[in-house]
Structure 1
Amino acid sequence: MSTNAYAAILICGEIDAFQHNSVFAHELALALKEFQIGANIIDYRSHPRAIHSALQDNDCVFFICFNGFGSELSLANDQPGRLSSAFQYYGKSVFDVMHDCPTHETLVHQMGVNFPLRFVLATDYGYVQEAHELNIHNVRFVPSITFPASQPPPRRHAGRRTHRWLLPIQLPPPAEVRKRLAAYGGYRAKIIKHIFEAVSEACIADLSLDPRVETRRACREVGLLFDAFNADHRFLLTAVADLVKFERRRSLLKALGNLPITILTSELIGPDRPKDFTYLPARSFSELLAIMADSDVVICPLPHHTGFHERALGAFSVGAAVLSAPNAVLESEFVDGRDFLSYKTADELAGLITRLSSEPDALSSIAESGRVRASARFSPTRLVETMISLAQTYRK
């Protein structure tokens, strides 16, 4: 490998409003240095010429992108009217770190992107299966990462931080989801709407149910073969996932209405919003990490049932205690009651907060145990090692 070797890391400010992927890129860039590999972070829509230069540069060893944004770059080459992958043409591997559901409508741009040098690194077990549904062959499950390079100033002990209970969530109105369904007509729409209502109702009531799994289960029961390439089926999955997420958050606020919670959100939730909450405006992910570091506990609704979520890993990183909804990864990788705390219902969460309000030392111990375990098991270096190994194994 050249002494000038580097990886090109593609971000997209146009779609990354809170700069989550920019923080990931910064962390991976520093982890690459441990392997004597530099990094060139490029906003690929703003600087397309920089991408072309990297593709042609022998010192560029591979590319990294997030949620498929950048993986779709193509060239018109040998066959008129047909496009081929720019990465495949130049022999550059691209490691696509997939945080979000690959069959959700917001990721439609990457559903047809399938070439040998694209490696989807999914941070959710369920998303591995979904990527296979999309005929993507190079798929690996990988743990997500902590954020050691994005640490704010030294942490204060529990009880001395500004925020006791922090709940960072966006609160789009559920009515927006139902509006989309109202405009959906025809016989097929009646079946779609029936499945939507039944699955949404079940998942809103039971936090342990995964909307993407339950949607497929409902389709099987009515004899409908769920097809990730079918626009109606993607619409159904997206509508269920979004409504369940939004309604669960509303239920959470209702259950916590008389408790001193700090809510960080960009959405206004109406005149009936709980008066006891402290409200903070949403901000970038790096700024969110700083607020987490000044919070005793971060409440994590965690919509990814079988995968990692940056909210929990961010809280672990900065030494805040994690109070989490049901999540298979946390339950498998951490010890409940020692490294984090879990709740199964919104009312149970309210009870936990009431009980733990008088136990700052217990919260401090849980926060430190979670921080140590997460830092040891989920460093950015681990993810970079996976990329380097795959790049060597599948070198063209």
Structure 2
Amino acid sequence: MGMVFATYFFTPPYYSFSHEVLKLSLWSNLVFLGDGIIVSLSIEAMHRFRNRYRRELRLITSSEEQLRVLNGELSALVEKQRQTEADLKILAVAFDAQDAVMITDSQANIVRVNRTFQQITGYAEAEVRGLNPKILSSGRHDSAFFTDMWRQIKCTGAWAGEIWDKRKDGQIYPKQMTITAVKAPDGAVVNYVAIFTDISARKKYEDEIRDMAFADALTGLPNRRLLLNRLSVAVSASARSGQFGALMFLDLDKFKMLNDTLGHDYGDLLLIEVAARIKSCVREVDTVARLGGDEFVVLVENLSDGMEVAQQGASKVAEKIREVLANPYQLKSQPYHSSPSIGLCMFSGTDSSVDDLLKRADQAMYRAKTTGRNRVCLFDSACTDYRNELAGCPPL
């Protein structure tokens, strides 16, 4: 339209031109108008192309940024997957480690156990899955023990200690166990994990160490240390109950001659046999101890609350021991005869110390030995002069 107006205003009036000139002028204007339209359309097309290019460029740029973000997220996921796989491998190794592992649900029903659990308990996983761990109970612990255990788990989330359990074959064994509560983010318990080890070997070793400290290595009898402990307890118990007790001190006659003639091996065999014979003469609650060499002590408690009855009972036990020990022995292929000298001392309450009681029984034994051997001698006031007076301690 701009071209048309331009032609109209800048071209002289049509009536001033001839017909040919007018035709030529109109044609030129039409050509000029067409060129303008073409140029305008071209410019408009260029604008549209540029705008579309810019939109596509922005879209490409945004896509590239999204791609970088997605690549970063994918890399993070891949790394997390690798770490998870590594953690699972570690957990798999830990689950099948030397310690037994038992996993329960929140209701304490077994859901998983590892190979070590099966080896220690004797139960296959299929046998215990869905069951309560009570099937392992040995019966050695009362309800108060388990009440305290669960109270600690609920308060602290864990418990650790020693417990006695039972294997599938019925054998009772000790174990060191830790129980941990596994909780969800909201604090609710989802699982309990128990990890334990069989400490039977350790307990056996501890018993051996204790035996070395409190037992005679040759005969297995309590040694001096354990005897003094038990005698102290017996004296205190006697004071509370009013019951009399008795202490017997035994020494084998002519034992040194056996060692000198046949050797210490035969002497050891005799001591072992003497220990067994003495134990056969007393109750299980009584104590038979070896002080060393050929010296033995017998502690008998709760004889009677009357002195005379208690003394008669103790004398019978002592005489029985004397008779049994005086019977012949067979040491390997060598027959042998021996006898004991026994000193007997009664006690009631805490009027006398443990050392005094041992000294009195020893004094009575010395009187038995110096008045003919192979006899029982009861301590009384005439025996106070230790190993000097030869009279005053009548044999029973």
TM-score (norm 2): 0.24
* Higher RCO (CA-CA < 8 Å; seq separation 6+): 1
Structure of greater Rg: 2
Higher strand share: 2
The structure with more helix, counted as a fraction of residues = 2
